[in-house]
Structure 1
Amino acid sequence: MPVPLRAITVFHAVARSGSITRAAEDLGVTPSAVSQQVQSLEVSLGTSLIGKAGRNVVLTEAGERYFEMIGPEIDRIMEATQRIQGFRSVTTLTVRATPSLSTKWLLPRLSGFVDAHPDIELRLDGTNEPTVFQKDSVDIEIRHGTGGWAGLHVEGLVEESFRPVCAPSLAAPGSLGPEELARHRLIHSVKSQMQWPLWFKLAGLAPPGRWRRLLFDRTHMAIDAAAGGLGIALESDLMLWNDLKSGRVACPLRDPPRVTLTTQWITCPHESLRHRKVRAFLDWIRREREAWTAERAAATL
């Protein structure tokens, strides 16, 4: 029986987009033509591959396994075809990271990667939405969390050191004792894993009985608020680095305790490690991590 290559590529488009309508738009055909192709593939394989969930589709267990097996091969075939046809001269690599990490740490370093890999077209997707790799067109996600996501390659980006920071005009570097923090407004990054109560606990300090708070749901907003003199923020040196070096913010504590935590994790499907573009980015970001760690160890910020 002939291999239904057209039906396989149509199923791949449906599984990747999660929608028959979007797959039809991507392929330039009608939704009914997409449905017919998927049905013919199901008949050929003798099993159901997709089901309905409202306007979207969901993969059956067999569909998920089949998509996982054919996905990398179809991607390679499509990329090879596009190269031969001249539709694209570069490979696209999509990296997803939180807006704060993208802005504060990745973006200032990206020139090294793009200059070293002119054949790779990088797309940096700054969002807090977790990636569903089987559906989203994302190659690598630097995910904020605690790590340990089953079924993925996971490695910590770096161990971060958290410290209070503020504008030097609000409190000079080294001018405050821990007990004096509560005299100022304390800025909270509400999505951060390192909150003020945890920092006081890990630092072996008693938290203040009362405090004035200012809350933000983005780290870069909390940092900018601290730099603007609105209060004292608790942030990671990973996010703070350029602001510390420029003097926009500084730690107002005398002998600040060292409180560390890994909150950013490099993640991707294990099978993606075979792709040259993924390996290139991982090699680059590991070198950047080593260079930044060495710079941090030598600095006196």
Structure 2
Amino acid sequence: MHVPFRAISVFHAVARSGSVTRAAEELGVTPSAVSQQIQALEVSLGTALIGRSGRNVVLTEAGERYFEMIGEEVDRIAEATQRIRGYRSVTTLTVRATPSLSTKWLLPRLASFIDAHPDIELRLDGSNEPVAFQKESVDVEIRHGAGQWPGLFCEGLAEERFHPVCAPGLAVASSLGPDDLARHRLIQSVKCQVQWSSWFARAGVTPAERWRRLLFDRTHMAIDAAVGGLGIALESDLMMWREWRDGRLVCPVRAPPAVGLVTQWITCPREHLRHRKVRLFLDWLRRERDLWADERRVASEIV
């Protein structure tokens, strides 16, 4: 029986990218050649695999099932072929994480993973967009949210503790009560899962209806603004750990209420856990998480 391998690889590229044009660019052919291969495969299988939604393509139910069945195998064949040809001496691991986590937590630690696994080429994709794993070539995502994504492996990265923080030149550590904060400019990341209003409620403080605010849509920008003395931020110790450890940020509040929450989650399809590169990365992540938690514990005991 003849197996249309060329048409199958073209369908795989279209399904993964969600676009005939992008697939054509990746394969080095024209969009019309891609469309012809897809049509030939549909004739061979006796069913429609893709449809259109505006400029993008969408998989039919049969197309989704077919891609799910062949996706991993085609990736494996492609990687094996590239290795034999000598085009690649390494395996690429693609990780997506939010820009703030990528900048503030992952990047300072990546050297140990890279040094330990020289055969793995790491690609770090800093984006807030959730991965569509069936369409995108992403191995692991560290996703911000509540940790409820059915069908995916999901493990909390670490429990974060949220504190008011500022530059020591703005207010020294433990110099303010919770009710003093509203007299200062308050910095907030609008996507943070702990907002000032809920923190004030935990502290038993009813602030004025309006207070001076400085808002950002990225946590790393809020942290940098606090370091720059622009106000008092409410942020996660996971994200601001270096700044806090180095004394560039302090908690100006005496006995602040304890606020702990897991907001960053390691996610991927469960079948990805079979891949060596994914297992190595997750093991490394867990070790780094434990080292960070130990460092935090020692620092709190000293204080």
For Structure 1 versus Structure 2, the TM-score category normalised by the shorter chain is over 0.9
Q: How does 1:78-89 map to 2 (within 5 A)?
A: 78-89=78-89
Q: How does 1:1-301 map to 2 (within 5 A)?
A: 1-201=1-201, 203-209=202-208, 210-300=210-300
5+ long unaligned stretches in structure 1:
none
* TM-aligned CA deviation for residue 42 of structure 1: 1.3
User: Which string of whole-angstrom CA distances, capped at 9 and with x for unpartnered residues, describes residues 105-163 of structure 1?
Assistant: 00010001000110000011111112111122211111111111111111111110000
* TM-aligned CA deviation for residue 206 of structure 1: 2.2
Instruction: Find the aligned partners of 1:27 and 1:178 in 2 and give their Cα distance.
Output: 60
* TM-aligned CA deviation for residue 30 of structure 1: 2.0
SS at match of 1:57: strand
* TM-aligned CA deviation for residue 19 of structure 1: 1.1
Which of structure 1's runs of 4+ aligned residues deviate more than 4 A?
none
Q: What is the aligned-residue RMSD (CA, Å)? A: 1.1
Cα 1:119–1:220 shift into 2, 3 Å? same
SS at match of 1:146: coil
8 A Cα contact 2:187 2:232, kept in partner:
yes
8 A Cα contact 2:120 2:277, kept in partner:
yes
Task: Report the AA paired with residue 207 of structure 2.
Answer: P
8 A Cα contact 2:178 2:203, kept in partner:
no
TM-score computed with the length of structure 1 as normaliser: 0.97
5+ long unaligned stretches in structure 2:
none
* TM-aligned CA deviation for residue 204 of structure 1: 4.2
User: Which string of whole-angstrom CA distances, capped at 9 and with x for unpartnered residues, describes residues 149-178 of structure 1?
Assistant: 111111111110000000111110011111
Task: Report the AA paired with residue 225 of structure 1.
Answer: A
Moved more, 129-138 or 97-106: 129-138
Task: Report the AA paired with residue 121 of structure 1.
Answer: E
Task: Name the count of aligned residue pairs.
Answer: 300
Instruction: Find the aligned partners of 1:192 and 1:87 in 2 and give their Cα distance.
Output: 43
* TM-aligned CA deviation for residue 21 of structure 1: 1.6
Identity of aligned residues (%): 75
SS at match of 1:299: helix
